[in-house]
Amino acid sequence: MKIIITAVLLLVGCNYANAHAIWIETSASGAVGKKHEAKVFLGEYATNERDSIHNWFSNMASFTLYMVAPDGQRTKLEVAPKGTYFLAEFTPAGEGVYYLTIEHPVAQVYETTKIHYHAQARVQVGKSQKGTENITKLNEAVMIHKDAAYKQNSMLETALQFNNAAIPDSKLHIHAPEGWSKEMSGDQNSNVSFNPALKGIYMLEGSFTETKTGTHEEQPYTIVWHCITNCIQVQ
């Protein structure tokens, strides 16, 4: 209960950067005909906090995970509870780029803010780049990287897009290996560039607010706060 209350208080606070996030962890490469696993977590990646699925707040545990194949076909993946995460798997049928994606609005409206989570992951199977362009069709909000390969001490450029348009006021939190984190602001085209000095997994967490009035689950809201995550492997 303490964990749930803490999560709610963080969400309704003015600093959404401290709110929980949902993210996907999976190997960046796969093989044709071989089962590929993915794990879905909720918590604070920067501090290595992964909530027990029994403590996931609101309707977060009812998320839907999709796999988008190189040909653009979208398949809903079954997820199994595993204590602090949900486990899913799929078997690549051919070479190309596969995407895993989540788009999940929180059922509760906190004060007048609707929370909308997005998560994505990229899996390269073989050398074919077929399906790379599907990134723009995943969700309303997507994180697009200029390069598919992420190398140590090589500038990485990324941008957030919402409904295929740049988000000038977006923020990007970079959570690097060894616990290093930094917040960066996107330019007018929502581009952010940084130099990954360490090898390993980086979790990129983007956020932005949308001024929009409506009703969600019979609750009125005036703002939508979006959070999008993407774990990448720097070689």
Do 235 and 27 touch, CB atoms closer than 8 A? no
Q: For position 10, what pLDDT does the model report? A: 40
How many C-beta atoms lie closer than 10 Å to residue 189's C-beta? 11
Residue 98 region by backbone torsions, left for phi larger than 0, else alpha for psi between -120 and 50, else beta: beta
For the record, the structure tokens of 167 come out as: 């988000």
The residues of the chain scoring below 50 in pLDDT are 1-18
CA 105 vs CA 22, 102, 185, 200, 228: distances in Å? 11, 10, 24, 30, 12
Pairwise CA distance, residues 228 & 21, whole Å: 8
Domain limits, the chain:
2-234
Give the pLDDT confidence score for residue 7 in this predicted structure: 37
- Domain spanning 2-234, CATH architecture: Sandwich (2.60)
Give me the pLDDT at residue 80, please.
98
Which pTM does this prediction carry? 0.90
* Per-residue model confidence (pLDDT) at position 19: 66
